[in-house]
Amino acid sequence: MIFDWNRSETIALAKEGCVLCHGFGLRCSNRTGLDAPCNCVLRAIFRACYARFRYCAVSERHMSQARLEMVGGKERREIWGRKDEEFIADFCLVSRRVLEEYEYKVFRFHYLLGADWHVCCSRLNLDKGTFFHSIYRIEQKLGRVFRELQPYPLFPLDEYFGGSVRGRVPAEYENMVSMPIPVRNGALRPPLRKVA
């Protein structure tokens, strides 16, 4: 399946000084002739997901809340879930599944264990250039996967954590215009004393 990228999604994530996309986020693919996301956009997607991963990982466990959310489909049922823990697990499991063995070693040392490039290079017997090229490839690969993952992508984060799903509006909301705004006569005056 070819994922449809559009400029309105990518322009906010694009690097302004990018020489490939010139800050628009899309560039024409030589192989398919279709617009493809620029590497700067894919790295921005990964970095946004990684920042949220770190936030979820360092927050205290008693701060996480179980939330009731609707599950679409024929049955339309509600389930309880802990979104922070689910995101941590999804981030790690998707990364493990997608990356090759060598890439996952670099990913694990640098991103999961928090080692800087000095430690990673000495531990994995790499030079600095090879290490950073690996990091960029890993970020691009995972950024694409986090956005194109089906049926529930990790990015955009507000959809993952907020529960909104892209797609068609349910039939019961098609005729809804907007909520009426109540009209007030004069200023709102709360009572100053208890009325018996």
pLDDT greater than 70 at residue 151: yes
Give residue for tokens 């797609």: 167
Question: Does 85 map to a domain?
Answer: yes
38: in domain: no
* Cα 47 from Cα 113, distance rounded (Å): 16
- Which residue has tokens 């080692």? 115
- Residue 188 included in any domain: no
The answer to the question of residue 150 being in a domain is: yes
Is the bond leading into 156 cis (omega within 30 degrees of zero)?
A: yes
Q: Is residue 44 part of a domain?
A: no
pTM, whole model, 2 decimals? 0.74
Instruction: Provide the pLDDT for residue 105.
Output: 92
H/E element, 81 = strand 77-81
pLDDT at 56: 87
Query: Which of 6-15, 102-111, 146-155, 177-186 has the largest mean confidence?
Result: 102-111
Residues 171-196, mean pLDDT to the nearest whole number: 57
Q: How many domains does the chain have?
A: 1
Domain holding 88, by residue range, is: 49-162
> Residue 57 phi/psi, 5° resolution?
-75, -35
- Asked whether residue 170 is domain-assigned, the answer is no
Tokens of 143: 């950024």
Q: What is the DSSP letter of 12?
A: T
Instruction: With H, G, I as helix, E, B as strand and everything else as coil, classify residue 100.
Output: coil
Instruction: Report pLDDT for 75.
Output: 67
Q: What tokens appear for 49 in the block? A: 């997901």
Give domain status of residue 15, yes or no: no
| Position 110 pLDDT exceeds 70 | yes
Out of 22-26, 133-137, 165-169, pick the least confident: 165-169
Residue 114 lies in a domain: yes
